[in-house]
Chain A
Amino acid sequence: MTVASGAVELHHIVKQFSADGPIVLDDVSLSVTPGEFVSLVGASGCGKSTLLNILAGLESATSGTVELAGPPTLMFQEAALMPWLTAGKNIELALELRGIPRKERKDKAQELLDLVHLERSYDQRPHELSGGMRQRVAIARALAQGRSVLLMDEPFAALDAITRDFLHEELTRIWEETGITIIFVTHNVREAVRLSERVLLMSSRPGRFIKEWNIGSNEPWRTDSTYSSYVSELASEITDNLRKEIVRHAS
């Protein structure tokens, strides 16, 4: 691979599920630098989940190239934890499949649980955890894979507003602490603006990038009192663009 660890390069990706089917992704190109936090927003049917699946290697593109330094990891809307394993053992499974020796796994799993503020949940089973806690275990499990790119497919969409709010702070903190590259797919514009350094808007049928906003991530700026009004303004600007795109399909 030619790209640096953590970088993602997409060149002219086209996706059609069948030869005479509709074009889902049409000439999509994207360049992400190591450690960047990029969000993809778009209405239903814009192919954003398909794009993540192609990046994750779960689906192949009809044409175009994907460049990654190594396989990325992927998080879903559901935590998708293994229900027969405790939180700690779920993380250990990821470590095992990565080839970490048995005796190191428990300590590493505990470290990762500490990172997502679930130090006491090692022995709890998925059904004993709340939705937000499960999603944090899923983050820890994704980090356990030791990949440099984390793909997130609407990971907080199924959570209530209070929990989602905490997870936004949590994800920002983890991203800063680990330096991992994150590509985040959502239909929640505010969420995208709040979390990422760059927001890309996708059109629907076919999916294309139609507009891009750079936000920057300087931490002092994010705690600035003008920041929240900036987020609101930018979010409504992006929402306006998104609405125009949706209206285009009305006729």
Chain B
Amino acid sequence: MHGLFRWSSKWWPGTIPLAFVWAIAAWINTSPLEADLAARSNAALKASVLDKPRMAVAGRDVTLAADAFSEEGRRSAVASVEAVPGVRLVNDQTRLVPEAKPFVWSAERDVARVTLGGSAPLPASRNRLLEAGRAGLGGVEVVDRMILSRGAPPRFDNAALLLLDQIGKLKDGKVTISDNKVSLSGMARDLGGREAIAAALKNLPEGFSVAANEVKAPPYVFQAYKDPVAVTVTLTGYVPDNNVHAAIAATAGRKFFKEKVVDNLKASVGAPSGFANAVVPALGALARLSTGTLVVSDREVRLSGDALYEAAAVQIRAGLGRDFPQGWQFIPEISVRPPAAPVDATVCQQLLADLLAKAKIRFESGRATIDPDSIGLLDRLVETAMRCPTVHIEIAGHTDAEGEAAFNQALSEKRAQAVMEYLVKAGLPANRFTPIGYGSTQPLAGNDTDEGRAQNRRIDFVVRKSE
């Protein structure tokens, strides 16, 4: 032992090369050691949920900066790096992600882009929302403006995913989750989209409630265009269902006796209430115009075009709105077509006969009330009568042979009278017309078939040369 002390006093010269070896070892090994520790520390952090983890290694010391989502997660992340073999100490610069109060998340859509904003609770749910957005909104650009925050309500992810699904049904708009209140605004992409969204919101996870659903439906549009050149009436837009569709098509067929009805209507939900009760009289008014467009948008009815004569324009402007169900609005834009050139008695008779050959003035069964479907025809008869101001016209009522002759006689007279009253109301002088009832005395066809009887029930206009 004594020898060891003696010898050790002579060991010092070796420390000089040792110092060199030490310096070289430190020179060569520092960077690889730091890289190795950084790799191991990163691997150890894999299991921790952190935002923006940043790590710096100096020698054997690791500086860890990151945003953690809970105090527990923060501590366990630091502990897992401390446990890495070789790490001397960890400079803990971690902090908690700020808490959002209220916790607000939103998704906003303009036509071709969806922007996700506000707070997401975890990186995983943020990615889930982004992926769901990209997958569910096919082709729409999804922009991520989300930040990460603590304080999300339970089941936030499910609620956000459900709302993201609804964004697909909007043309533009915004959905927002504020704590556990959900609000939506914007314009639905399709008719019925608003209803579909309202139905989907019933499946919100427990604890969430709808604070405001201000999603608007696109206007429910029905259009009819009467084209005098092509002699067509084109119906486009929506009808509530197939029954209403059939009823409107049938009405159009009766009201537009001259024109071909082109039916491009589609059935869709979302019609305003009283749709058929407004559209049918509006089509009747369109039938009275020489050319015109009917646009029904939600509860607004816009009718524009040319009436055949002044009184018709006045009647349509004042009368149509009164037929509408409550809450409907009528915007008439009716002008009057300039009167056509006068014609002589022969042409006048020809024009009247042509009109009456295409359609007949119809009445309620057994009564002298003119069927509203015949107003369009009557307006054309009025217009023609105005073109021959000098002639005298006999309005001849005829019935079929069903029932008593006296009743038929009286009915034919009353019907002829009703037609004359219509002409007079339209502004024609009463002294140019003579209503005559012939009962069933002048049949055009046999009274033993339905068709024959239908042909015999008629009003004829007979032009008498003026005296």
Indicate, yes or no, whether A interacts with B. no
